[in-house]
Structure formats: structure tokens, C-alpha cells
Amino acid sequence: MTFSIVYVLACLTFMIIALVRDRIKPGLVLFSVVVLMLCAGILTPKQCLEGFSNKGMITVGLLFLVSEGVRRSGVLERLIFNLLPHNKPTMIKAKWRMLPVVSFISAFLNNTPVVVIFAPMIKNWCRKMHLSPTKFLIPLSYATIFGGMCTLIGTSTNLVVDGLIQETGREGMSMFELGKVGVIIALVGLLYLIFISHYLLPESRDTEIDMEGAPQGVKFVEVVLRSRFPGIGNTLREFDFFRHYGGNVHCIRRGGEMLTGDWMNLPLQNHDTLIIETDDKFVKAWGESSVFLISSHDQSGDMLGKKKRWFAFFLLFFMVVGATVGELPMVKEAVPGFKFDMFFFVCITTVIMAWTKMFNAKKYSKFVSWDVLVTIACAFAISKGMQESGFADYIASFIIEASRTVGKANGGIYAMMAILFIITNIFTELITNNAAAALSFPLALSMSNELGCDPMPFFICICIAASAAFSTPIGYQTNLLVQGVGGYKFTDYVKVGLPLNIIVFLLSVFLIPHIWHF
């Protein structure tokens, strides 16, 4: 191994450890790695900055604003309310009506607001229908993940991989390219969630709080602590939560159970769920905070008027259809040199939403997750560094040789696909899905170059594997959100999620080579 390969390996090891420890934001971790590669001469200043001008990264940022406009329309709340049965519902009937629609919605909107909107509604509905909310909330999160596998804009990871593909000079993915395998995986996964998952999920634990019993002007808000919360390791008697955040802690849930006894003297831990008594100002002030995730609260106060509700939905429809039609060969031939892609239509949609006040244009930066954008931009640079240093070629050669021990021809191809999927999936369960995709992309590219084959099957494999985060609550942000609302334990995710990981793995490895030929 050369010095560059060893150096990049050390940088990546540092990055993975730092991301797992979660002491600082992922964007700054990845930026630190970019700087290390710059100092060693592996990356040039131009290569370090190219990711910040990538269309995929900018598209992700604009989609945050579009999602906020649709969220404020109130259409999603009305839709899920009408879908949920209200007359002697059964668990299977309710899931059958709800989960496919949730997957469809999340194929076109950011997953996090979908879960933040639906989770408290479903929990309240379960209470009224005398059903266990723990049977529904993890399936809700997983359904949004399945939806994200079906379209280019379903999750930021897909746009990251698409941006990396275009950086190589190749044609990017169309809107529904991933749907060729994603829809099949989603259908199988949804059947598992509807008919099997409730046997593996726990009954509701004694963690219910009367969220509607607060005095006038006071609201209960659930927040999930993250490792950057300044009070981690301190007790609530030592850390004045009210002075810092303007709310009183009503109780704490940890590992799916309510803390009892003298819980005010127990040190706070990462991923604890706090039930806070506060007012409307809390969510406005701390909704985008990096120290905790707000998992449920009343959002009715900032909904759009009736005239704008369906216009917001129309704009979303216009954006998706426009980007889909724009990819047709006849459209490309009719207007050569002009690209009617997702970037084009999301720009138009965002500007219209801003000028029609579908989101607060004066505070638009609040609705964008800037750390995600920095993570994506730096991921492009790290991926480039892995290629420039020879690290990607070295690892790809090792994977190919290991695969050849399994068998020649198709047997070796399936083995390579399986190894790439497992590597990406382990990364996405431990770190961030965008970073996982960035680490795996250069490996896929080097493997295809050495084999002299089309790299698209490997790229599709990365997209699916980077989204298939089912076995841990920390693998995907929506998993962490429903953990707080539902009071789940870590083992609950393993029981219901590990079989899903295996299902998605088997379907991906055997279907992708048949749909996208090498």
C-alpha cells in the first residue's frame, strides 16, 4: 500500500469513529476529513469545493423548503385522518389503509416531517380506538423508508448518488429509475409490516402521558436528547432546563420505560425522551436545534389558509410530473441543450412557494438542514479523495478477488453485489446514510472499471443499502423520532428490523442484476 492509501484509510477510520461517537455534527466531521486530505495534497482546493456547487446538493436544500410548504398546507393531516378507520378497526385493516399511503407520500417528501406529523396523530387515534400505538409507530417509520427507495427525490441519499454519477460525466438517474426495484421491495416490505410486524412488536408499555390535559396556554412537547445536549451526564437538579430552554421537564423515558423514583437525580443520557411543559414559543425557538429532536407537538397554529392548501399540493404535483416528463427522449430532442430535470422544477416550485408565502420567506433558512447540505458537499470531496489516492481501486480489487472465490460469471457478480450491499448497510446503521453512500460510491465505480462493466447496478445497490436502516433506532432519524413517541427499546428494532434487512438484502442482490445488466 502507498502512503496515500494508508493516509486515506486513517482519515476514514477517524471519520467513522467520530460519527459513531456523535460529539459534533456530521457535517463538521466530514469537513475535517476534507481538510486532512487537502493538507496531504490528495485533494486540491477546487476539488474540496466542487460539492458545494453540485446540483444534487442544492436540490436537497430546495426540497426542504418545498416539504415545509406542503407541511403547512395541512393536506397531509386531513389525508391520514380520513384514511384511519373510526368504526371498530382491526390492526391489519388500519395498517392496510395507512402504510401504503405513507410510503407513497414519503416517495416525494422529506421523511422526517411526514413522521413528525403522523406519529402523534396515530398515537392519539390508537388511544381512542383502544389499540396499541407501539404496533404502528415503527411500521410508520419503516414505511417512509420504503417510500424513499422508490424515487430520485425520496431521500437525500438518492440525490447524493445521482450527483456523484453526474460528476463522472454519466447520465444521472431518472425520477423513477429506482422504482424498478424499489417498488418491489416496498411492496414486499409493506406486506411484512401489515401482516407480520405486530407479532414482533411489543404491547404498549406504561409510559402514556395525558398530552391533552395541560392548562390553557401550556402544551406538552416530547423531545429526544442528542449527544450535543449540554446537560448530558448531569441531573435535572444540576442542569436548569427551564433557564436554558423555557420549559419544565414533566418526566423522562429511557429505553422504552418511564423513569420512576427520584428521577430528578438521575444523570441524563443520550436518546432520553423528555416530556416538557411549555408554550408555543418553545417549538419556534428550538424546532431546528441540534441538541434534541422534537418528536411530537401541536402544529396546527401555523397552517396555511384554505385557498393555499390545494395550491401547495398542485405545485408538488407540477414539480414531480414536470421532472418526469422532462426526462423523456422526445422532450430532450425537442429542446436540445436545455435540461428539464428535477433541479429545474424544484427551483421554480420553491420560488413560487416563497412569493406566495407558503413558508416564511424571511426565515427560510430555518427550514433547511444546513448540516445535511454540508455533509453532502463534503461527501463528494471525500469520494473524490478515495479515487485520487488509489484507495478505492485497492479495496475494489480486494472485493473482486474475494468474490471470485465464490464462483465465476454470475456467481461472482452476485457475491460482489452482496459485499457492496453489506458494507454500505453497516455504514448506514452506524453513521449517516449520506456518508455511507459517499464511502461506497468510489468502491462501486472502481469495481465496474476493473470489470469493464456498466456501474449502474452497483450504484442502485448503494441507494437501496444506504436507505435500509431498520435494525437500530440511530440508523435513520425517523426511527429515533418514533422511539421517543412509542417508548421503544433498542431490542424492538432488532426484532422487527433485522428480518427486514435480510429481506431487502436478498431482493436487492437477486433483482438488481436482472433489471440493470452489467
444-455: pLDDT as tens digits: 999 888 888 889
Q: In which element (H, E) is residue 238 found?
A: none
Whether residue 134 contacts residue 486, with contact meaning beta carbons closer than 8 Å, is answered with yes
Q: What is the mean pLDDT of residues 389-411?
A: 76
How many degrees, rounded to 5, is the angle at CA 283 between CA 280 and CA 289? 160
Whether residue 400 contacts residue 447, with contact meaning beta carbons closer than 8 Å, is answered with yes
Helix (H, G, I), strand (E, B) or coil at 16: helix
| Residue 216 pLDDT | 62
Overall pTM surpassing 0.75 (yes/no): yes
219-302: CATH topology is Alpha-Beta Plaits (3.30.70)
Give the percent of the chain with pLDDT over 90: 32
What are 221's strand-pairing partners?
A: 276
Ramachandran bin of 256, using left for φ above 0, alpha for ψ from -120 to 50, beta for the remaining angles: left
CA-nearest of 31, 42, 61, 32 to 366 is 61
| Residue 406 pLDDT | 63
Q: In which element (H, E) is residue 372 found?
A: helix 370-388
Instruction: Quote the cell numbers at residue 457.
Output: 447496478
CA-nearest of 499, 472, 495, 498 to 200 is 495
Q: Is the pLDDT of residue 225 over 90?
A: no
Q: Is the pLDDT of residue 208 over 60?
A: no
Whether residue 429 contacts residue 416, with contact meaning beta carbons closer than 8 Å, is answered with no
Q: Is the pLDDT of residue 187 over 70?
A: yes
Cα(111)–Cα(339) distance, integer angstroms: 27
Q: Is the pLDDT of residue 209 over 80?
A: no
Report the greatest alpha carbon distance in the chain: 72
pLDDT tens digits, 298-317:
555 556 667 777 888 889 88
| Residue 217 pLDDT | 64
| Residue 458 pLDDT | 94
| One-letter amino acid for residue 450 of the chain | E
pLDDT tens digits, 17-27:
888 777 778 88
| 387 or 24, higher pLDDT | 387
Q: Is the pLDDT of residue 355 over 80?
A: yes
Q: What is the mean pLDDT of residues 202-217?
A: 62
Q: Is the pLDDT of residue 182 over 90?
A: yes
Q: Compute the mean pLDDT over every residue in the chain, rounded to the nearest whole number.
A: 85
Q: Is the pLDDT of residue 177 over 60?
A: yes
State how beta strands 273-278 and 219-225 pair: antiparallel
Lowest mean pLDDT among 37-41, 144-148, 238-242, 364-368: 364-368
How many degrees, rounded to 5, is the angle at CA 429 between CA 436 and CA 441? 15
| Residue 304 pLDDT | 67
| Residue 407 pLDDT | 55
The structural domains of the chain, with segments of one domain joined by +, span 51-216+303-369+383-518, 219-302
DSSP state of 250: E
Cα(439)–Cα(379) distance, integer angstroms: 8
Q: Is the pLDDT of residue 152 over 70?
A: yes
How many degrees, rounded to 5, is the angle at CA 58 between CA 53 and CA 63? 180
Instruction: State which of 261-270, 330-339, 503-512 shows the largest mean pLDDT.
Output: 503-512
CA-CA-CA-CA dihedral for 439, 509, 449, 8, to nearest 10: 20
